[in-house]
A and B are shown apart, each in its own frame.
Chain A
Amino acid sequence: MAFLTALVTLCLLQSSAALYFHIGETERKCFIEEIPDETMVVGNYKVQAYDHNVKDYMPVSRDIGMHVDIADPDEKTILSRTYAAEGRFTFTSHTAGEHVICLNSNSSAWFNSGQLRVHLDISVGEHAVDYQQVQAKDKLTELQLRVRQLLDQVEQITKEQNYQRYREERFRQTSESTNQRVLWWSIAQTLILLITGFWQMQHLKSFFEAKKLV
Protein backbone atom coordinates (compact mmCIF):
# COMPACT_ATOMS: atom_id res chain seq x y z
CA MET A 1 0.00 0.00 0.00
CA ALA A 2 2.70 2.42 1.02
CA PHE A 3 4.79 1.28 -1.91
CA LEU A 4 1.93 1.97 -4.28
CA THR A 5 1.41 5.39 -2.75
CA ALA A 6 5.08 6.15 -3.19
CA LEU A 7 4.98 5.00 -6.84
CA VAL A 8 1.94 7.10 -7.64
CA THR A 9 3.23 10.22 -5.95
CA LEU A 10 6.63 9.77 -7.58
CA CYS A 11 5.03 9.96 -10.98
CA LEU A 12 2.75 12.82 -9.98
CA LEU A 13 5.72 14.88 -8.90
CA GLN A 14 7.69 16.30 -11.81
CA SER A 15 11.13 14.75 -11.56
CA SER A 16 13.30 17.64 -10.42
CA ALA A 17 16.40 17.22 -12.54
CA ALA A 18 18.41 20.18 -11.33
CA LEU A 19 20.66 22.34 -13.45
CA TYR A 20 24.00 23.55 -12.13
CA PHE A 21 26.20 26.51 -12.89
CA HIS A 22 29.46 27.98 -11.64
CA ILE A 23 29.61 31.16 -9.64
CA GLY A 24 32.63 33.03 -8.35
CA GLU A 25 32.84 33.58 -4.61
CA THR A 26 32.06 37.26 -4.89
CA GLU A 27 29.81 37.00 -7.90
CA ARG A 28 26.07 37.45 -7.95
CA LYS A 29 23.68 35.69 -10.31
CA CYS A 30 20.10 36.68 -10.91
CA PHE A 31 17.13 34.83 -12.34
CA ILE A 32 13.87 36.35 -13.44
CA GLU A 33 10.52 34.69 -12.80
CA GLU A 34 7.41 36.23 -14.24
CA ILE A 35 4.51 34.98 -12.13
CA PRO A 36 0.89 35.88 -11.36
CA ASP A 37 -0.05 36.95 -7.84
CA GLU A 38 -0.63 34.55 -4.92
CA THR A 39 1.69 31.99 -6.48
CA MET A 40 4.11 30.01 -4.39
CA VAL A 41 7.68 29.64 -5.60
CA VAL A 42 10.09 27.13 -4.07
CA GLY A 43 13.81 27.10 -4.81
CA ASN A 44 16.13 24.23 -3.91
CA TYR A 45 19.85 24.70 -4.14
CA LYS A 46 23.07 22.94 -3.24
CA VAL A 47 26.55 24.46 -3.21
CA GLN A 48 29.75 22.57 -3.87
CA ALA A 49 33.31 23.88 -3.81
CA TYR A 50 36.26 22.71 -5.87
CA ASP A 51 38.62 20.56 -3.85
CA HIS A 52 42.15 20.62 -5.29
CA ASN A 53 43.14 17.35 -3.59
CA VAL A 54 40.33 15.32 -5.08
CA LYS A 55 40.21 17.46 -8.26
CA ASP A 56 36.44 17.50 -8.15
CA TYR A 57 33.58 19.40 -6.63
CA MET A 58 32.81 18.29 -3.10
CA PRO A 59 30.28 19.58 -0.58
CA VAL A 60 31.61 22.66 1.16
CA SER A 61 33.60 22.12 4.31
CA ARG A 62 34.05 25.80 5.13
CA ASP A 63 31.19 27.94 6.40
CA ILE A 64 29.92 29.05 3.06
CA GLY A 65 26.29 29.96 2.79
CA MET A 66 24.14 31.43 0.09
CA HIS A 67 22.59 34.83 0.42
CA VAL A 68 19.25 34.95 -1.37
CA ASP A 69 17.64 38.25 -2.40
CA ILE A 70 14.20 38.29 -3.92
CA ALA A 71 12.76 41.51 -5.35
CA ASP A 72 9.16 42.01 -6.43
CA PRO A 73 8.06 43.83 -9.64
CA ASP A 74 8.20 47.20 -7.83
CA GLU A 75 11.85 46.51 -6.96
CA LYS A 76 11.07 46.13 -3.30
CA THR A 77 12.98 43.35 -1.52
CA ILE A 78 10.61 40.71 -0.23
CA LEU A 79 13.19 38.23 0.98
CA SER A 80 16.81 38.75 1.96
CA ARG A 81 18.29 35.92 3.95
CA THR A 82 21.40 33.86 4.18
CA TYR A 83 20.91 30.14 4.11
CA ALA A 84 23.29 27.23 4.64
CA ALA A 85 25.26 25.60 1.84
CA GLU A 86 22.31 23.37 0.99
CA GLY A 87 18.79 24.55 1.46
CA ARG A 88 15.56 25.79 0.10
CA PHE A 89 13.83 29.14 -0.02
CA THR A 90 10.11 29.80 -0.46
CA PHE A 91 8.07 32.86 -1.16
CA THR A 92 4.55 33.68 -2.26
CA SER A 93 4.05 36.55 -4.66
CA HIS A 94 1.61 39.27 -3.66
CA THR A 95 1.87 41.29 -6.86
CA ALA A 96 1.83 39.90 -10.35
CA GLY A 97 4.93 40.56 -12.44
CA GLU A 98 8.63 39.96 -12.81
CA HIS A 99 10.30 38.81 -9.63
CA VAL A 100 14.09 38.72 -9.54
CA ILE A 101 15.81 35.99 -7.53
CA CYS A 102 19.48 36.77 -6.86
CA LEU A 103 22.05 34.44 -5.33
CA ASN A 104 25.48 35.25 -4.04
CA SER A 105 27.74 33.44 -1.66
CA ASN A 106 28.43 35.12 1.65
CA SER A 107 32.12 34.36 1.46
CA SER A 108 34.28 37.08 2.97
CA ALA A 109 36.94 36.84 0.25
CA TRP A 110 37.92 40.11 -1.37
CA PHE A 111 38.55 38.51 -4.73
CA ASN A 112 37.48 35.37 -6.54
CA SER A 113 39.59 32.66 -5.01
CA GLY A 114 37.62 29.82 -6.53
CA GLN A 115 34.53 28.76 -8.35
CA LEU A 116 31.53 27.36 -6.58
CA ARG A 117 29.17 24.94 -8.22
CA VAL A 118 25.54 25.69 -7.46
CA HIS A 119 22.77 23.22 -8.24
CA LEU A 120 19.51 25.09 -8.56
CA ASP A 121 15.93 24.09 -9.07
CA ILE A 122 13.10 26.64 -9.04
CA SER A 123 9.53 25.32 -8.95
CA VAL A 124 6.58 27.61 -9.53
CA GLY A 125 2.92 27.25 -8.62
CA GLU A 126 1.52 23.77 -8.45
CA HIS A 127 4.94 22.20 -9.20
CA ALA A 128 6.01 23.61 -5.84
CA VAL A 129 3.37 21.73 -3.86
CA ASP A 130 4.51 18.61 -2.02
CA TYR A 131 1.72 16.16 -2.72
CA GLN A 132 2.98 13.57 -0.28
CA GLN A 133 2.39 16.07 2.50
CA VAL A 134 -1.02 17.01 1.13
CA GLN A 135 -2.04 13.37 1.00
CA ALA A 136 -0.87 12.74 4.55
CA LYS A 137 -2.55 15.86 5.91
CA ASP A 138 -5.91 15.47 4.19
CA LYS A 139 -5.84 11.66 4.19
CA LEU A 140 -6.59 11.24 0.50
CA THR A 141 -6.64 8.05 -1.53
CA GLU A 142 -4.59 7.83 -4.71
CA LEU A 143 -7.56 8.69 -6.92
CA GLN A 144 -8.44 11.68 -4.76
CA LEU A 145 -4.84 12.84 -4.87
CA ARG A 146 -4.76 12.67 -8.65
CA VAL A 147 -7.98 14.65 -8.92
CA ARG A 148 -6.60 17.17 -6.43
CA GLN A 149 -3.51 17.59 -8.55
CA LEU A 150 -5.63 18.18 -11.64
CA LEU A 151 -7.66 20.80 -9.77
CA ASP A 152 -4.49 22.60 -8.68
CA GLN A 153 -3.19 22.56 -12.23
CA VAL A 154 -6.41 24.05 -13.59
CA GLU A 155 -6.36 26.75 -10.93
CA GLN A 156 -2.80 27.68 -11.85
CA ILE A 157 -3.73 27.85 -15.54
CA THR A 158 -6.65 30.15 -14.75
CA LYS A 159 -4.42 32.44 -12.68
CA GLU A 160 -1.89 32.61 -15.47
CA GLN A 161 -4.62 33.45 -18.00
CA ASN A 162 -5.89 36.31 -15.86
CA TYR A 163 -2.38 37.63 -15.52
CA GLN A 164 -1.96 37.37 -19.28
CA ARG A 165 -5.04 39.50 -19.81
CA TYR A 166 -3.62 42.16 -17.49
CA ARG A 167 -0.27 42.08 -19.30
CA GLU A 168 -1.92 42.39 -22.70
CA GLU A 169 -3.80 45.43 -21.45
CA ARG A 170 -0.58 47.06 -20.31
CA PHE A 171 1.05 46.25 -23.64
CA ARG A 172 -1.88 47.73 -25.51
CA GLN A 173 -1.66 50.91 -23.43
CA THR A 174 2.04 51.32 -24.21
CA SER A 175 1.40 50.72 -27.92
CA GLU A 176 -1.40 53.26 -28.09
CA SER A 177 0.61 55.78 -26.16
CA THR A 178 3.57 55.39 -28.53
CA ASN A 179 1.24 55.67 -31.50
CA GLN A 180 -0.18 58.94 -30.23
CA ARG A 181 3.20 60.33 -29.31
CA VAL A 182 4.64 59.67 -32.75
CA LEU A 183 1.84 61.81 -34.21
CA TRP A 184 2.10 64.62 -31.65
CA TRP A 185 5.89 64.85 -31.77
CA SER A 186 5.78 65.06 -35.59
CA ILE A 187 3.18 67.82 -35.52
CA ALA A 188 5.11 69.69 -32.83
CA GLN A 189 8.35 69.39 -34.80
CA THR A 190 6.72 70.65 -38.03
CA LEU A 191 5.19 73.62 -36.21
CA ILE A 192 8.45 74.52 -34.51
CA LEU A 193 10.29 74.21 -37.81
CA LEU A 194 7.84 76.59 -39.48
CA ILE A 195 7.96 79.05 -36.58
CA THR A 196 11.76 78.97 -36.48
CA GLY A 197 11.96 79.54 -40.24
CA PHE A 198 9.49 82.38 -40.05
CA TRP A 199 11.28 83.98 -37.10
CA GLN A 200 14.66 83.63 -38.84
CA MET A 201 13.44 85.42 -41.98
CA GLN A 202 11.73 88.17 -40.03
CA HIS A 203 14.73 88.73 -37.80
CA LEU A 204 17.21 88.82 -40.65
CA LYS A 205 14.95 91.09 -42.73
CA SER A 206 14.68 93.61 -39.92
CA PHE A 207 18.43 93.27 -39.31
CA PHE A 208 19.29 93.99 -42.95
CA GLU A 209 16.80 96.87 -43.07
CA ALA A 210 18.45 98.34 -39.99
CA LYS A 211 21.85 97.99 -41.68
CA LYS A 212 20.42 99.66 -44.78
CA LEU A 213 21.45 96.72 -46.99
CA VAL A 214 17.94 96.05 -48.27
Chain B
Amino acid sequence: MDRCFPYLLCLAGLLSFVVCSEIDLTVDIPAGRQECFWQELPASTTCEIDYQVIDGGDMDISVYVAGPEGRVIYMEQRKAENVIKFTSEGKGDYKICFDNSFSTFSNKVVFFEIFIEDGQSDDDDDEDHKLAMREDYKAMESQLDMTVEQFLGILDRSKKNLERSVQVQTLIRIHEAKDRNTQEANFFRVNFFSCFQLAVMMVVGLGQVIMIRSLFQDRRSVSGASLRART
Protein backbone atom coordinates (compact mmCIF):
# COMPACT_ATOMS: atom_id res chain seq x y z
CA MET B 1 0.00 0.00 0.00
CA ASP B 2 2.78 2.40 0.90
CA ARG B 3 4.53 1.64 -2.38
CA CYS B 4 1.45 2.66 -4.33
CA PHE B 5 0.92 5.95 -2.55
CA PRO B 6 3.77 7.99 -4.13
CA TYR B 7 2.82 6.54 -7.52
CA LEU B 8 -0.76 7.68 -7.06
CA LEU B 9 0.43 11.12 -5.98
CA CYS B 10 2.58 11.50 -9.11
CA LEU B 11 -0.28 10.36 -11.30
CA ALA B 12 -2.65 12.85 -9.68
CA GLY B 13 -0.09 15.59 -10.25
CA LEU B 14 0.49 14.71 -13.89
CA LEU B 15 -3.17 14.44 -14.66
CA SER B 16 -4.05 17.79 -13.13
CA PHE B 17 -2.59 19.66 -16.07
CA VAL B 18 -5.03 18.37 -18.62
CA VAL B 19 -7.98 17.24 -16.57
CA CYS B 20 -11.05 19.39 -16.53
CA SER B 21 -13.54 16.72 -15.57
CA GLU B 22 -13.48 14.62 -12.46
CA ILE B 23 -16.06 12.56 -10.59
CA ASP B 24 -15.56 10.87 -7.26
CA LEU B 25 -17.88 8.80 -5.15
CA THR B 26 -17.72 6.54 -2.13
CA VAL B 27 -20.09 3.55 -2.30
CA ASP B 28 -21.03 0.77 0.05
CA ILE B 29 -21.25 -2.57 -1.77
CA PRO B 30 -23.20 -5.29 0.07
CA ALA B 31 -21.86 -8.83 0.33
CA GLY B 32 -22.53 -11.08 -2.62
CA ARG B 33 -23.55 -8.28 -4.95
CA GLN B 34 -22.07 -6.09 -7.60
CA GLU B 35 -22.58 -2.39 -8.23
CA CYS B 36 -22.19 -0.87 -11.69
CA PHE B 37 -21.76 2.71 -12.80
CA TRP B 38 -22.02 4.05 -16.32
CA GLN B 39 -20.27 7.11 -17.72
CA GLU B 40 -20.65 8.59 -21.17
CA LEU B 41 -17.31 9.11 -22.89
CA PRO B 42 -16.59 10.79 -26.22
CA ALA B 43 -14.50 8.94 -28.80
CA SER B 44 -10.70 8.63 -28.39
CA THR B 45 -10.60 10.08 -24.90
CA THR B 46 -8.18 9.00 -22.23
CA CYS B 47 -9.97 8.01 -19.09
CA GLU B 48 -8.45 7.09 -15.76
CA ILE B 49 -10.23 5.38 -12.90
CA ASP B 50 -8.63 4.92 -9.50
CA TYR B 51 -10.33 3.02 -6.79
CA GLN B 52 -9.54 1.97 -3.23
CA VAL B 53 -11.30 -0.22 -0.74
CA ILE B 54 -11.51 1.70 2.51
CA ASP B 55 -13.48 -0.64 4.73
CA GLY B 56 -14.76 -4.18 5.02
CA GLY B 57 -13.52 -7.74 5.40
CA ASP B 58 -10.27 -8.45 3.57
CA MET B 59 -10.34 -4.97 1.99
CA ASP B 60 -10.32 -6.20 -1.59
CA ILE B 61 -12.73 -6.07 -4.50
CA SER B 62 -13.01 -7.33 -8.08
CA VAL B 63 -13.49 -4.83 -10.88
CA TYR B 64 -14.30 -4.95 -14.57
CA VAL B 65 -14.69 -2.20 -17.16
CA ALA B 66 -16.86 -2.76 -20.23
CA GLY B 67 -17.35 -0.69 -23.40
CA PRO B 68 -20.63 0.42 -24.97
CA GLU B 69 -21.13 -2.90 -26.81
CA GLY B 70 -20.58 -4.88 -23.62
CA ARG B 71 -17.04 -5.97 -24.45
CA VAL B 72 -14.86 -6.21 -21.34
CA ILE B 73 -11.90 -3.84 -21.64
CA TYR B 74 -10.32 -4.52 -18.29
CA MET B 75 -10.77 -7.02 -15.49
CA GLU B 76 -9.04 -7.45 -12.15
CA GLN B 77 -9.78 -9.86 -9.33
CA ARG B 78 -9.66 -9.04 -5.64
CA LYS B 79 -7.35 -6.05 -5.40
CA ALA B 80 -7.24 -3.50 -2.58
CA GLU B 81 -6.44 -0.52 -4.78
CA ASN B 82 -5.63 0.08 -8.40
CA VAL B 83 -5.42 2.62 -11.20
CA ILE B 84 -7.07 1.77 -14.54
CA LYS B 85 -6.12 3.82 -17.56
CA PHE B 86 -7.73 3.29 -20.95
CA THR B 87 -8.62 5.18 -24.12
CA SER B 88 -12.19 5.04 -25.32
CA GLU B 89 -12.53 3.83 -28.89
CA GLY B 90 -16.04 4.92 -29.75
CA LYS B 91 -18.44 7.34 -28.18
CA GLY B 92 -20.82 5.69 -25.75
CA ASP B 93 -21.61 4.65 -22.23
CA TYR B 94 -18.76 2.84 -20.56
CA LYS B 95 -19.50 0.71 -17.54
CA ILE B 96 -17.41 0.07 -14.44
CA CYS B 97 -18.54 -2.65 -12.07
CA PHE B 98 -17.36 -3.45 -8.56
CA ASP B 99 -17.95 -7.08 -7.80
CA ASN B 100 -18.26 -8.23 -4.18
CA SER B 101 -19.89 -11.58 -4.96
CA PHE B 102 -16.90 -13.59 -3.69
CA SER B 103 -17.58 -12.31 -0.18
CA THR B 104 -20.28 -13.98 1.93
CA PHE B 105 -20.47 -11.71 4.96
CA SER B 106 -18.56 -8.48 4.61
CA ASN B 107 -19.75 -5.45 2.72
CA LYS B 108 -17.08 -3.25 1.19
CA VAL B 109 -16.80 0.52 1.14
CA VAL B 110 -15.09 1.54 -2.10
CA PHE B 111 -13.90 5.00 -3.08
CA PHE B 112 -13.44 5.60 -6.80
CA GLU B 113 -12.46 8.57 -8.93
CA ILE B 114 -12.94 8.97 -12.67
CA PHE B 115 -10.74 11.44 -14.53
CA ILE B 116 -11.77 12.29 -18.08
CA GLU B 117 -9.20 14.11 -20.16
CA ASP B 118 -10.72 17.11 -21.91
CA GLY B 119 -9.05 19.11 -24.61
CA GLN B 120 -9.89 22.37 -22.88
CA SER B 121 -6.44 23.79 -22.21
CA ASP B 122 -6.22 25.36 -25.70
CA ASP B 123 -9.55 27.16 -25.25
CA ASP B 124 -8.23 28.68 -22.02
CA ASP B 125 -5.28 30.29 -23.78
CA ASP B 126 -7.53 31.83 -26.46
CA GLU B 127 -9.76 33.26 -23.80
CA ASP B 128 -6.87 34.71 -21.84
CA HIS B 129 -5.67 36.38 -25.03
CA LYS B 130 -9.12 37.88 -25.66
CA LEU B 131 -9.31 39.20 -22.10
CA ALA B 132 -5.84 40.74 -22.33
CA MET B 133 -6.91 42.80 -25.35
CA ARG B 134 -9.56 44.68 -23.40
CA GLU B 135 -8.90 48.40 -22.95
CA ASP B 136 -9.94 48.70 -19.30
CA TYR B 137 -7.62 45.88 -18.35
CA LYS B 138 -4.75 47.46 -20.24
CA ALA B 139 -5.18 50.54 -18.06
CA MET B 140 -4.53 48.37 -14.99
CA GLU B 141 -1.13 47.29 -16.24
CA SER B 142 0.67 50.19 -14.58
CA GLN B 143 -0.80 49.15 -11.24
CA LEU B 144 -0.08 45.49 -11.76
CA ASP B 145 3.51 46.09 -12.89
CA MET B 146 3.11 43.39 -15.52
CA THR B 147 0.99 42.71 -18.60
CA VAL B 148 -2.55 41.47 -18.24
CA GLU B 149 -1.57 38.27 -19.99
CA GLN B 150 1.12 37.60 -17.43
CA PHE B 151 -1.35 38.23 -14.63
CA LEU B 152 -3.87 35.88 -16.19
CA GLY B 153 -1.09 33.33 -16.58
CA ILE B 154 -0.33 33.60 -12.88
CA LEU B 155 -3.99 33.12 -12.02
CA ASP B 156 -4.20 30.06 -14.25
CA ARG B 157 -1.09 28.47 -12.77
CA SER B 158 -2.33 29.14 -9.24
CA LYS B 159 -5.64 27.49 -10.10
CA LYS B 160 -3.93 24.42 -11.51
CA ASN B 161 -1.63 24.11 -8.51
CA LEU B 162 -4.54 24.44 -6.13
CA GLU B 163 -6.45 21.77 -8.03
CA ARG B 164 -3.46 19.49 -7.66
CA SER B 165 -3.39 20.21 -3.92
CA VAL B 166 -7.04 19.28 -3.72
CA GLN B 167 -6.40 15.99 -5.50
CA VAL B 168 -3.51 15.15 -3.18
CA GLN B 169 -5.69 16.02 -0.21
CA THR B 170 -8.38 13.67 -1.47
CA LEU B 171 -5.86 10.85 -1.75
CA ILE B 172 -4.54 11.53 1.74
CA ARG B 173 -8.07 11.60 3.11
CA ILE B 174 -8.87 8.25 1.55
CA HIS B 175 -5.70 6.61 2.83
CA GLU B 176 -6.38 7.99 6.29
CA ALA B 177 -9.94 6.66 6.19
CA LYS B 178 -8.66 3.21 5.24
CA ASP B 179 -6.05 3.21 8.01
CA ARG B 180 -8.55 4.47 10.55
CA ASN B 181 -11.02 1.72 9.67
CA THR B 182 -8.30 -0.92 9.93
CA GLN B 183 -7.25 0.46 13.30
CA GLU B 184 -10.81 0.50 14.63
CA ALA B 185 -11.34 -3.08 13.46
CA ASN B 186 -8.07 -3.93 15.24
CA PHE B 187 -9.30 -2.33 18.45
CA PHE B 188 -12.53 -4.28 18.34
CA ARG B 189 -10.75 -7.56 17.61
CA VAL B 190 -8.21 -7.14 20.41
CA ASN B 191 -10.96 -6.48 22.95
CA PHE B 192 -13.32 -9.16 21.76
CA PHE B 193 -10.82 -11.99 21.39
CA SER B 194 -8.99 -11.20 24.63
CA CYS B 195 -12.26 -11.30 26.54
CA PHE B 196 -13.25 -14.48 24.77
CA GLN B 197 -9.89 -16.11 25.47
CA LEU B 198 -10.10 -15.19 29.16
CA ALA B 199 -13.58 -16.66 29.43
CA VAL B 200 -12.51 -19.87 27.65
CA MET B 201 -9.48 -20.18 29.93
CA MET B 202 -11.56 -19.90 33.07
CA VAL B 203 -14.20 -22.31 31.82
CA VAL B 204 -11.56 -24.86 30.82
CA GLY B 205 -9.81 -24.52 34.22
CA LEU B 206 -13.06 -25.06 36.06
CA GLY B 207 -14.03 -27.88 33.72
CA GLN B 208 -10.77 -29.70 34.33
CA VAL B 209 -11.22 -29.59 38.11
CA ILE B 210 -14.80 -30.79 37.89
CA MET B 211 -13.82 -33.63 35.54
CA ILE B 212 -11.07 -34.85 37.83
CA ARG B 213 -13.33 -34.66 40.85
CA SER B 214 -16.05 -36.62 39.08
CA LEU B 215 -13.49 -39.33 38.12
CA PHE B 216 -12.68 -39.94 41.76
CA GLN B 217 -16.14 -39.58 43.19
CA ASP B 218 -17.78 -42.34 41.12
CA ARG B 219 -15.50 -45.17 42.30
CA ARG B 220 -16.13 -45.14 46.03
CA SER B 221 -15.75 -48.91 46.32
CA VAL B 222 -12.31 -49.01 44.65
CA SER B 223 -9.37 -48.68 47.07
CA GLY B 224 -6.88 -45.84 46.87
CA ALA B 225 -3.98 -48.16 45.97
CA SER B 226 -5.44 -49.51 42.73
CA LEU B 227 -6.35 -45.97 41.66
CA ARG B 228 -2.78 -44.86 42.22
CA ALA B 229 -1.50 -47.81 40.20
CA ARG B 230 -3.79 -47.01 37.29
CA THR B 231 -3.02 -43.24 37.20
User: Does A associate with B in a complex?
Assistant: yes
B-binding residues in A (CB < 8 A): 4, 7-8, 11, 14-15, 17-22, 29-34, 121-122, 142-143, 146-147, 149-150, 153-154, 156-157, 160-161, 164, 167-168, 170-171, 174-175, 177-178, 181-182, 185, 188-189, 192-193, 196-197, 199-200, 203-204, 207-208, 211-213
Chain B neighbourhood of A33, CB < 8 A: 26
Contact with A along B116-154 (1 / 0, CB 8 A): 101010011001001100000100000000000001100
A-binding residues in B (CB < 8 A): 20-23, 25-28, 35-40, 93, 109, 114, 116, 118, 120, 123-124, 127, 130-131, 137, 151-152, 155, 158-159, 162-163, 165-166, 169, 172-173, 176-177, 179-180, 183-184, 186-187, 190-191, 194, 197-198, 201-202, 205, 208-209, 212-213, 216, 224, 227-228
A205 CB to nearest chain B CB (Å):
11
Chain B neighbourhood of A200, CB < 8 A: 205, 208-209
Chain B interface mostly helix, strand, loop or mixed?
helix
| Given contacts A19-B37, A122-B25, A157-B166, A14 and B187 within 8 Å (CB-CB) | no
When C-beta atoms are compared, the residue in chain B nearest to A188 turns out to be: B198
Task: Tell me, in angstroms, the Cα distance from A211 to B213 when the chains sit together.
Answer: 11
Name A204's contact: one of B151, B212, B228 (CB within 8 Å). Answer: B212
Q: Is B169 a contact partner of A161 (Cβ separation < 8 A)?
A: yes
| Given contacts A21-B37, A178-B183, A31 and B27 within 8 Å (CB-CB) | yes
When C-beta atoms are compared, the residue in chain B nearest to A163 turns out to be: B173
Q: Is B22 a contact partner of A196 (Cβ separation < 8 A)?
A: no
A/B interface sample: 30 pairs, CB < 8 A:
A4-B131, A7-B123, A14-B20, A15-B21, A17-B23, A19-B38, A20-B38, A20-B39, A31-B25, A31-B27, A31-B28, A32-B28, A121-B23, A142-B131, A143-B137, A143-B155, A153-B159, A153-B163, A154-B162, A160-B169, A161-B169, A164-B169, A170-B180, A178-B183, A185-B194, A188-B198, A192-B201, A200-B209, A204-B209, A211-B224
Chain A neighbourhood of B190, CB < 8 A: 178, 181-182, 185
Rank and list the top 8 A-B pairs by shortest CB-CB distance, nearest first.
Answer: A185-B194, A196-B205, A32-B26, A153-B162, A213-B224, A178-B187, A15-B21, A171-B180
A121 CB to nearest chain B CB (Å):
7
Name A21's contact: one of B38, B40, B194, B208 (CB within 8 Å). Answer: B38
Chain A interface mostly helix, strand, loop or mixed?
helix
Q: Is A11 a contact partner of B120 (Cβ separation < 8 A)?
A: yes
Task: Tell me, in angstroms, the Cα distance from A30 to B26 when the chains sit together.
Answer: 9
B199 CB to nearest chain A CB (Å):
10
Name A147's contact: one of B23, B155, B205, B212 (CB within 8 Å). Answer: B155
Known: A168-B176, A189-B198. 18 other contacts (CB 8 A): A4-B127, A11-B120, A11-B123, A17-B21, A21-B35, A21-B38, A31-B25, A122-B25, A150-B162, A153-B159, A153-B162, A154-B162, A164-B172, A185-B190, A189-B201, A192-B198, A196-B202, A200-B205
| Given contacts A11-B127, A19-B39, A153-B162, A164 and B186 within 8 Å (CB-CB) | no
Chain B neighbourhood of A160, CB < 8 A: 166, 169, 173
Chain A neighbourhood of B209, CB < 8 A: 200, 203-204
Chain A neighbourhood of B180, CB < 8 A: 167, 170-171, 174
Q: Is B197 a contact partner of A32 (Cβ separation < 8 A)?
A: no
Q: Is B173 a contact partner of A22 (Cβ separation < 8 A)?
A: no
Chain B neighbourhood of A14, CB < 8 A: 20-22
When C-beta atoms are compared, the residue in chain A nearest to B110 turns out to be: A32
B190 CB to nearest chain A CB (Å):
6
Task: Tell me, in angstroms, the Cα distance from A20 to B25 when the chains sit together.
Answer: 12
Q: Is A164 a contact partner of B176 (Cβ separation < 8 A)?
A: yes
Q: Is A174 a contact partner of B131 (Cβ separation < 8 A)?
A: no
When C-beta atoms are compared, the residue in chain B nearest to A199 turns out to be: B205
Task: Tell me, in angstroms, the Cα distance from A177 to B191 when the chains sit together.
Answer: 11
| Given contacts A185-B190, A192-B198, A207 and B38 within 8 Å (CB-CB) | no
| Given contacts A121-B23, A171-B180, A189-B198, A17 and B166 within 8 Å (CB-CB) | no
